[in-house]
Chain A
Amino acid sequence: TQLLEQSPQFLSIQEGENLTVYCNSSSVFSSLQWYRQEPGEGPVLLVTVVTGGEVKKLKRLTFQFGDARKDSSLHITAAQPGDTGLYLCAGKTGANNLFFGTGTRLTVIP
């Protein structure tokens, strides 16, 4: 089993603050995805990173894939209440092997 650890597990911040969520593993992944999940719904894909060192931006969200393709980070600038949710990373090793991280539950307080 490929273990993907996310930190922190819970994060509560004020609107307007910046934050970073980490996703770490001892395994190498061919690609890594980030999902956001809201209560009562399934996860929704935010981004896929493929190349070691790759950085992708999605409005106020910045995603980075580690050089060795074992870890990733998600940075949110000026967090908004609409960013509240469960953030999941998922690493891909084979055709159908997608392993999900343990999740970070973010609450942004207005």
Chain B
Amino acid sequence: NAGVTQTPKFQVLKTGQSMTLQCAQDMNHNSMYWYRQDPGMGLRLIYYSASEGTTDKGEVPNGYNVSRLNKREFSLRLESAAPSQTSVYFCASRGRMGSPLHFGNGTRLTVT
């Protein structure tokens, strides 16, 4: 069972470059989420999509955009990367409200 798949696993960008992080889930979940994880700060919600066709801002949305391409896929885009966006990014999905989050294995992004 694949669950939540994130690509790429690692990425190095120069300041000002753009990139898109991809996430796909095969569990037919309605909701999908993007988090960033930084040392000593836990996971912070960037954006989420409660259902196909909707997206909403989380705690730390500045500098990011998202697209819910279809029910399976939810991408995160950095238009102009900054060193402050160096982090590990996790995608997660959830079925019905109250059910647990299922996380991918993360994308480690370094912006120099």
Decide if A42 touches B59 in the complex (CB within 8 Å).
Answer: no
Does A33 belong to the interface (CB within 8 Å)?
A: yes
Can you list, as one digit per residue, whether each of B3-41 has a CB less than 8 Å from chain A (1) or not (0)?
010000000000000000000000000010001000011
Does A103 belong to the interface (CB within 8 Å)?
A: yes
Query: Whole-angstrom distance from the CB of B49 to the nearest CB of chain A?
Result: 10
Decide if A96 touches B48 in the complex (CB within 8 Å).
Answer: yes
Question: Which residues of chain A come closer than 8 Å to B56, judged between CB atoms?
Answer: 96
Does A98 belong to the interface (CB within 8 Å)?
A: yes
Residue in B closest to A40 when the chains form the complex, CB atoms: B105
Chain A interface extent, by class: 20 to 34
Of B44, B97, B100, the residue contacting A100 (CB under 8 A) is B44
Question: Which residues of chain A come closer than 8 Å to B104, judged between CB atoms?
Answer: 42
Decide if A1 touches B40 in the complex (CB within 8 Å).
Answer: no
Query: Whole-angstrom distance from the CB of B31 to the nearest CB of chain A?
Result: 7
Can you list, as one digit per residue, whether each of B53-68 has a CB less than 8 Å from chain A (1) or not (0)?
0001001000000000
Does A101 belong to the interface (CB within 8 Å)?
A: yes
Does A32 belong to the interface (CB within 8 Å)?
A: no
Decide if A45 touches B101 in the complex (CB within 8 Å).
Answer: yes
Does B92 belong to the interface (CB within 8 Å)?
A: yes
Decide if B41 touches A42 in the complex (CB within 8 Å).
Answer: no
Does A102 belong to the interface (CB within 8 Å)?
A: yes
Q: A88-B43, A102-B41 are in contact. Are A42 and B90 (CB under 8 A)?
A: yes
Interface residues of A in 1-29 (CB under 8 A from B): 1, 4, 6, 9
Residue from B50, B59, B97 whose CB has the most chain A CB atoms within 10 Å:
B59
Decide if A103 touches B42 in the complex (CB within 8 Å).
Answer: yes
Decide if B92 touches A45 in the complex (CB within 8 Å).
Answer: no
Of B42, B45, B90, the residue contacting A4 (CB under 8 A) is B42
Does A48 belong to the interface (CB within 8 Å)?
A: yes
The residues of B with any CB-CB pair to A shorter than 8 Å are 4, 31, 35, 40-45, 48, 50, 56, 59, 90, 92, 97, 100-101, 103-106
Having A41-B106, A48-B100, A103-B42, one finds 12 other A-B pairs with CB under 8 Å, namely A6-B42, A42-B104, A43-B90, A43-B101, A43-B103, A90-B43, A96-B48, A98-B45, A100-B44, A101-B42, A102-B41, A103-B40
